[in-house]
Structure formats: C-alpha cells, structure tokens
Structure 1
Amino acid sequence: MKPQSILFGAAIIALSACSSAEKSADAIADSLATTSEMAPAPVAAVQILSPAEGDTLTLPFTLTLGATGVEVIAANGLREEGKGHHHLMIDGDTPPSDSLPLAAAPVVIHLGTGATERVLDSLTVGPHRIIAIFASGDHVPWTTVARDTVNFVVRK
C-alpha cells in the first residue's frame, strides 16, 4: 500500500471521529439545556426587602427580610436542611468562618424567633451596611443560601 493512501485513510478516520465527537458534544449540550429549561434548580437566598440600596432614612425604621428556597423558623439548636433564621451583620464583615456559629457581638443582630422584621432605632447618623445571613437552628451559616447586602444612610 502506498504511504499516500495510508495518510489519506488516516485523515478520513480522524475527520470522522472529530465530526462524531462534535455531534455528541452538541447533543449533550442540547440535552442539558433542555433539562435546565424544563426544571430549573431552586435558588435559596435571603433578601433585604427594605430599606433599599442607597436609601436615606431617619430613625426608627423597619428592616424587612425575605427568603426563597428555605423555611424561616425559630432557632431550635438543630441543623435541619433548608430551615433556619436570619442574622444581620451591622457595619461588620462577613463571619470569619462559615463552619462556626455566629458569635454574639455588637455588630450581630440575631432574629432567633424566626422574625422577618426588625425595628432599628440606635444607628448613628451616617452611612451603614447590613449583610443578611441565613443560619441553621444552631446559628451556623448556611453556605448554600445566598446572602444579601444593602448600603444606606441615616440622617437626623
């Protein structure tokens, strides 16, 4: 057999394999896209419903929280999947560890009763930031639940 014939045959086989692989990859991508469109995965998140980003407020005001994909319950000391309660970080950073309970601190407001509202009446005049964190009944933050942050200003 001539070397040219062998090279030509090898090129045909390689092109066929690439074409088949591309078709298989396209079929898999189409299948995944169709599956995603049919049944979107639920997204668990907490939302700060009020105040809104950039608001200017006077004291007192009510902070209102929402949650999707989770059930808000009173703190009960248990770690139950998809259940928990809100914590607010006032002008603080996110916790140093998501595997430890949120520590009691001046910058942490614990809504352990399962509340979704809190009247804030003791913030100083000026800019503030609140981070809403969803934690289990044992106060350990859920890393599978998206957090929300809002920046606002308190005036006299």
Structure 2
Amino acid sequence: MKNRSADALALSRSLLVAAALATACVAPGAFAGPTPAPANAYAYIGYPNDGQTVPAGKPFKVWFGLRYMGVAPRGVKFPNTGHHHLLIDVDLPPMDQEIPSDRNHLHYGAGETETMLELPPGKHTIQLLMGDDKHIPHNPPVYSKKITIYVK
C-alpha cells in the first residue's frame, strides 16, 4: 500500500512537470499575433546608441534598423513585412493585441525608418516593435533591444 502512494505521488509530480514544460513550449506562440515573421528577423536602433547622451531642448534623430524583413505601410498586407512602432519609457505591450497609440507608443504607419524625437531632460528608454498591417505584433514578435538614453 505504501508503494502505491509513493508511485501515485511520483506520477502526479511527473504530470505536473510535463504540463509545465508543455505550457512553456506553447506560450510564446500562443501570445503572438496572427501574421508570421521570419524566425531570424530582428529590429534594432541604429542611433542613438545605448547609454548615449543627447541634447535637451531640441529634436534628435532616431534611426530604425530591420533585418530579414521588409517595411510596408499600415494596411498593406505583404509577406514578411511590417511597420515600426517606437516605445518610449514603457515595456513591450501584449503581443496578441493591437499596439497602443499614445505618447509612449509612436506609430510609423507610413513606413518611416527614422524620426526626429524630442524628450524632456532625464533618463529614458526606447525600443522598436514591428507591427503587421493592423498594428499587431508578428509571430514571432520582432523587436529591438531596449536602450537607455540620457537627455541633458
């Protein structure tokens, strides 16, 4: 009888571990948009650089980079394309929903690959996130590293 209890406990633990592993393997795809992206695609910020200081009181250029995908305006549904969104002082939004449009989530739906940005003095983070023709992140999501800049 004692062996049955130990066997049942071991089986329960094995099932819990298997369920956790299955959830971990499925989760990234389950929380992404419906539009596929190449697995090797990535976005990056070409300028400014991480840790760089930019002058306060005047706009500075932010240059968007993208590899293994193309840029297309919003509303244009073409394979392996999307458009940039610049995230300012926020974390990545939910990957299965439309990217918000506000002062922290700037949309570049005309296919822009750079912008002029003016931020108040202080420490800021910026990050790129690609969106499909409907502003929803791709599957897998294509985004840049979050960088920190200083405005002085």
CA RMSD of aligned residues (A): 1.7
Please report the TM-score for the alignment, with normalisation by the length of structure 2. Answer: 0.69
Aligned 8 A contact 2:60 2:117 in 1: yes
Task: Please give the per-residue CA displacement for 1:74-93, whole angstroms capped at 9, x wherever unaligned.
Answer: 11164x43110000110011
Please report the TM-score for the alignment, with normalisation by the length of structure 1. Answer: 0.67
Aligned 8 A contact 1:133 1:141 in 2: yes
Mapped to 1, the partners of 2:44 and 2:79 lie a distance apart of 19
Identity of aligned residues (%): 28
Count of paired positions? 112
Kindly provide the amino acid, as one letter, of the partner of residue 66 in structure 1: G
Kindly provide the amino acid, as one letter, of the partner of residue 59 in structure 2: P
Gapped regions of structure 1 (runs ≥ 5)? 1-40
Runs of 4+ in 1 over 4 A off after TM superposition: none
Structure 1 pair 130–143 and aligned structure 2 pair: CA distance change class (3 A): farther
Aligned 8 A contact 2:89 2:125 in 1: yes
Task: Please give the per-residue CA displacement for 1:100-146, whole angstroms capped at 9, x wherever unaligned.
Answer: 1112222111000100001002x110100001001101100114244
- What's 1:94 paired with? 92
Mapped to 2, the partners of 1:145 and 1:99 lie a distance apart of 9
Task: Please give the per-residue CA displacement for 1:24-71, whole angstroms capped at 9, x wherever unaligned.
Answer: xxxxxxxxxxxxxxxxx9720011000000000013100001111111
Aligned 8 A contact 1:131 1:150 in 2: yes
- What's 2:44 paired with? 47
- What's 1:84 paired with? 82
- What's 2:100 paired with? 103
- What's 2:113 paired with? 116
Gapped regions of structure 2 (runs ≥ 5)? 1-37
Aligned 8 A contact 2:86 2:105 in 1: yes
- What's 2:54 paired with? 57
Mapped to 1, the partners of 2:102 and 2:69 lie a distance apart of 25
Mapped to 1, the partners of 2:139 and 2:45 lie a distance apart of 17
- Deviates further, 136-145 or 51-60: 136-145
Structure 1 pair 143–151 and aligned structure 2 pair: CA distance change class (3 A): farther
Mapped to 2, the partners of 1:48 and 1:127 lie a distance apart of 17
